[in-house]
Structure 1
Amino acid sequence: MAGAEDPAVHQLRSLLALSEELHFGRAAARLYLTQPALSQQIRTLERRLGVQLFTRTSRRVQLTPLGRSLLPLVRNVVGAADELRDAARHSAAGADGLVLRIGLTDCAATLAATRTVVAALTTLHPGLEVDFQVLDLVEQPLALALGRIDAAFVYGPVAAGLHAEPLTVEPRVVCLSASDPLARRPTLRLADLADRSMVGLAPAVSVAERRFWGMDPRPDGTPVRYTDHHVIRVESLLSAVSLDGAIAFLPAVAAELFPRPDLRYRPVADLAPCTFSVVWPERRRENPNVAVLADVCRRLRERGELPPGTIRGPDEPAAPFGTGREEHAAHAVALPSR
């Protein structure tokens, strides 16, 4: 059949992943494929299109000029397929049977802001089913890009093409080994940490995120050194700090979420804060699932019902929750872990 030679959407997704990673092993891991399976998909796609998309040597993978020129069209095709699937799901479910898929990291599931949004979703839209997917730093942006989730809760910088609804802003702290002499100080400055290595994040984590969490470059131009770790989960990062004497910058709430006798969390006076947001792809703004989430976030903001640390305009009243965390936890919706 003539259609048998048409490119398949899953092959186009493989092209996008490999174009971003330029490494078969990392791209295969992102797609939950084996490396030989990914190689076969790329070869099949090249055969069906009749063009070479990548040049490969034993040391590197590169897009060909033609492969690079096709990327915008490939993204449009994959995006259209995602929107078609979303529209079909919505039509099948009906207006009272929406399924909102939200990605979040393991630590984000316990935050007051997350639970406030979830509680409001279930209260204002009782017919809404919320499907949570606990993802790591690499899986979450990929799931958004591929349409596996509708939105995500994220800390830090927001990638191009995503709309962000800021929920809270909070200081960052440094996480050190309890045996580090600097851990005895109540407060630190970036200059105090100049000779400490940062825990390395996986190369598949975006450059913007790696630079943000490494505070790289430093304001005074001090070069930043990284360990050889390629972490994508908080647990691995904390172990690297404890066992290898490295440091990591984290949201201040990490001290509450991950108390350990072998670690210390200290404020850093000149370290910029971080923003916790819910994000979704700009091109899916009209998706009914996303519209529900956007409406809830706006209502919470307008009513001042987000927890302490909420980003407010200068004339907006503070959220009426005192210390906040306990009150929100009392009516929080339980989030599953994977």
Structure 2
Amino acid sequence: MTTTSFDSSELYPTTRLAAVQEATARAGLGALLLTPGPDLRYVTGYEAMPLERLTCLVVPASGEPFLMVPRLELPAARHSPADRLGVEFVAWDETDDPYARVASRLGAVGRVGLADRMWAMQSIRFRDAMPGTEQVLAGGVLRELRMRKSPAEAAALAEAGAAIDEVHALVPGLLKAGRTEREVGKDIAEAIVAAGHARVDFVIVGSGPNGASPHHELSDRVIQAGEPVVVDIGGTMPSGYCSDSTRVYSVGEPPAEFVRYYEVLQRAQEAACAHVRPGVTCASVDAAAREVIEEAGYGDLFIHRTGHGIGLETHEEPYIVAGNDELMEPGFAFSVEPGIYLAGEHGARIEDILICGETAGERLNHSTRDLVVV
């Protein structure tokens, strides 16, 4: 079990709030309105419960930030890392209108940024409370900060990678002909928690033809001898940072065609990982994987982007996809996961999380990328 612990002051430093306020001003926004979700946790460290009752960190471009919180949630907020920020906690009661109170305290502002994961119900209530204010996504402000992982964030992602590697090490003992995907998935989910995750985010066990569906998850299909099985798993650690790794197994000897394209897939994934370094584009990492697969004649069977950013969310920016000409920088964290999928037969995907370092990419997953025959 992975047991490394992190000081919340390292992962969620109090200086982050000032950086967010400065970014809000540079973006020409009057304020950011951050409700429970990854944006709020990034800024404060507070994993607030998402409720119909409004919890909202208000970060004005100038002036003092404050946290609007239901009175019954005030103790939880006080016991969270948000209490270190020195912001005012504004408790509201059941008969109050918290949206009107936020609008009153902010005054007239031309534009506000709403948390990307804010409920539509809440955004509409804010629109009604501030009818003259344009709403945009806060992600446009926070992306530049969230994409560049600090050393503490990188360490948290490495801990998550080590924890999910522990789970993959157990998978060969769980895969047997005659078991269903759901039975195997249940065991994997238990192992994810046992390895130190706070929660399971997803478990994909795609056997035989189900392996050709990248987001298949689980079914009652019985695993057969001679079938490849795609296992894509991830969870969230107590730190808030996520794991995500895919490996491929075969219950007995796999089909010859599968062995041929799995070798191609290994070369493609290695090429993309080797290409990572500061100054290359995200699109070029995608191209490095795609070129190997296309040259081998499987290009039309690679049906998704090569990767996605990861941190407090399993999928966040930057995206490793054609057309994304953003330049890699130290601290970018993302998956490299090319795949080849033969509909109705089988499929394969190899996925590692990488962090872009000063000169090259560093893999955070270290379990074997060879096909494991069980």
TM range (shorter): under 0.3
TM-score, normalised to structure 2's length? 0.25
Higher-strand-fraction structure: 2
TM-score, normalised to structure 1's length? 0.27
Higher-helix-fraction structure: 1
User: Which of 1 and 2 has higher RCO (CA within 8 Å, sep 6+)?
Assistant: 1
